Amino acid sequence: MIIVNVKENESIEKALKRFKKKFDKTGAVRELRARQAFTKPSVKRRDQVIKAAYKQKLQTEDAK
């Protein structure tokens, strides 16, 4: 459960922004979307490898 204490003289918009930030960090929406359809472990591993290779490629391009 996420609790956001609204400080004195703080606008609701600012408190709502802090709530959204905390909610995003929990990863609840990401997990719900991932659970909607089953993905095989081999496919997950393959996706991780592809993502890691992509990140590595970006880092090597930045280093040049």
pTM summary value: 0.56
- 29, with CB counted inside 10 A (0-12, 13-18, 19+), is exposed
Q: How far is Cα 29 from Cα 34, in angstroms, rounded to an integer?
A: 9
Name residue 57's amino acid: K
Please, what is the end-to-end C-alpha distance for the chain in angstroms? Answer: 45
Q: How far is Cα 29 from Cα 11, in angstroms, rounded to an integer?
A: 26
Q: What is the pLDDT of residues 2-61, one digit of tens each?
A: 899 998 999 999 999 999 999 999 999 999 999 999 999 999 999 999 999 999 999 998
